[in-house]
Structure 1
Amino acid sequence: MKSIKTYLLVSKQISLSFLILIAFVGLQSCKSDKGREVDDPVQLQKDNVIQIVTENMDFQMPDTIPSGWNTFRYKNLSPQTHFFLVDKYPQGKTIKDVRTLVIPVFDSGMKLINEGKSEEGFAEFGKLPEWFSEVVFVGGSGLISPGNIGETMIKLDPGYYMVECYVKMNNGVFHSSMGMIRELIVSDKVSENTELTTDIRINISSTEGIVISDSIHRGLQTFAVFYKDQIVHENFVGHDINLVRLSGNADIEALDNWMNWADPKGLIDPAPEGVTFLGGVNDMPTGSTGYFTVTLEPGNYVLISEVPNPSSKNMLKTFTVSE
């Protein structure tokens, strides 16, 4: 019988290989697009903020950014809900390695699973290259609804990264398969940014869930999210923080169920009625801190994690901002 440690390592490899496969398919989809290419107008701004714009199934952003603390301002101009997640690859590994060393294994494994041969399918993933365990999710934004802007700060080391979104279209196809995947180079040049001054501190862990340490008030607020630990959950990804504004017809139970991408009805367009996603901080390693800044109007809100049944893990926290 496999040990728990071995199971988690295999699960992590499955998670990483799955997301990278989706990313690769998305990249190939982009390359096959015969439409007119548009020059990327997004540049690193004078205020040291990296602008990311999504108009359809794309990330318009610089190809190379400095290392150190970086603030990302993500503007979602598309009709779907999105996030961006940054994945750090081992030195020397590129999308070519994914195509030659990962795709055949993952294709055969998924084929077996789809045929109902789950045990054989998961065993197939044991053929994945060992370096996949070195790919690390290092943060990004939380979910952002159409027409909204999210601002997130994370610290990045020099290296080769990919930026992706794996929310699903209403037909179940991942956004990364539709083009929401791109390579990102983080250079040795260090940004001039420093950590933000914090208004609200949040700890998140698998044992305690979401713990809010400060009162939350209206106006411009900066949240610091500290990852006390990080584990692989049942849907093969780690926990994160997403801020949601609720309207009168919002259904908390529907939101709770929707946050699991592994459910056919989860993390899929459209988002549940009555919810507006305002950003947050995506999956990060143990001991990491990320920041997000948002203007809070009076009303009802939720902090929630993209894991199966977040309410059962104390990863769904409601709060009210007063007048």
Structure 2
Amino acid sequence: MKLKILTFLVAIVIISCKSDKKEKEDYATINKEKKDYIEVVTNVMDFVTVDTIKSGWNTFKYINKSNEPHFILLDDYPEGKTLDTIKARVMPAFDKGMAFIMEGDMDAAMGAFGELPKWFPEVKFVGGTGLISPKRETIMTVNLEPGPHIMECYVKMANGMFHVSMGMVKELFVLEEDSGNEPPESDINITISSTEGITYTGEILKGSHIISVHYKDQSVYENFVGHDVNLVKLDDTANLEDLEAWMDWMNPKGLITPTPTGVTFLGGVNNGLPGSTHYFEVDLDPGNYAFISEVPKASSKGLLKTFTVD
């Protein structure tokens, strides 16, 4: 009888472990401050992660194992528009337009972009990570509404091909069930707007920080996207003019491999909706840094700010 009871208890433990394992596959967790996070891994040109997450506040840990810079952009497409729709109606127009840009024919490029479906302006960019250099990782927190989302990266290969066209696009479904998470407590607070650019409060010292980014407003710029915040470390060889030009994907040499000399991308937050607040984490060493948006001529818009960590 004792043997039967012991066998029964072992079976319960095994079943419990299997159930726990499946839950962790869907909602990975870390012990750091007991926060939940969703792990996303890029090995080459991919997003390896779960298919569904809960709504509300979610923390993503993005691990870039590849040899290219990447970011995560989360899109809300109009109802009924699936990944198949995007591949058939949106990506070809951007690919065609970018090919013309690489040839130096901007008029033909704008004609190609004119082939985007009429509903494309309804697409909402709701968050994601800033640019992250190869072999690095970043953590960001965002508040997501229920429904289907698209995860993408449109950094370009050396030949001008978008990463999204090479496989860096994935559907992510956000459930009605709320995560129950709360936003983290930040020690550096950024406000970004089309009129005042990037401003921040809080002392930027060496060490670990949680940085909040509040979108006072949002604007669609010449490159079809809004402002965001990317954190960049600058070494002695970095040139800010080169960095600024590179941040515009519509520049033939912009948002493309290789990255400008002397810069290392450390994450940040991608496009957010007006009134929303997003968070990212970073560990800073002494050196020179910049916050920069992925917009044309960022410095003229107040969207390039340099600072030094002693």
TM interval, short-chain normalised: 0.7 to 0.9
1:60 paired residue among 7, 24, 48? 48
Q: Report the secondary structure of 1:269's partner residue.
A: coil
1:267 paired residue among 249, 255, 274? 255
The answer to whether residue 39 in structure 2 is matched with residue 46 in structure 1 is no
Cα shift readout 1:209-253 (whole Å, capped 9, x = no counterpart):
101122111111011000111111111110000000111211111
- Measure how far apart 1:208 and its partner are: 0.7
Matching residue's letter, 1:233: Y
Matching residue's letter, 2:187: D
Q: How does 1:154-303 map to 2 (within 5 A)?
A: 154-303=142-291
In structure 2, the CA distance between the partners of 1:283 and 1:115, relative to structure 1 (3 Å rule), is: closer
CA contact under 8 A between 1:42 and 1:51: conserved in structure 2? no
Unaligned runs of 5+ in 2: 1-23, 31-35
TM-score by length of 2: 0.83
Matching residue's letter, 1:288: S
In structure 2, the CA distance between the partners of 1:299 and 1:120, relative to structure 1 (3 Å rule), is: closer
CA distance in 1, matches of 2:264, 2:209: 17
CA contact under 8 A between 1:161 and 1:184: conserved in structure 2? yes
In structure 2, the CA distance between the partners of 1:61 and 1:99, relative to structure 1 (3 Å rule), is: closer
In structure 2, the CA distance between the partners of 1:276 and 1:92, relative to structure 1 (3 Å rule), is: same
CA distance in 1, matches of 2:93, 2:61: 36
Matching residue's letter, 1:171: N
Matching residue's letter, 1:216: I
Moved over 3 A (4+): 96-125
For 2:140, the equivalent position in structure 1 comes to 152
CA contact under 8 A between 1:261 and 1:268: conserved in structure 2? yes
TM-score by length of 1: 0.80
Aligned sequence identity (%): 52
Matching residue's letter, 1:192: G
Unaligned runs of 5+ in 1: 1-40
Matching residue's letter, 2:61: R
- Measure how far apart 1:95 and its partner are: 2.6
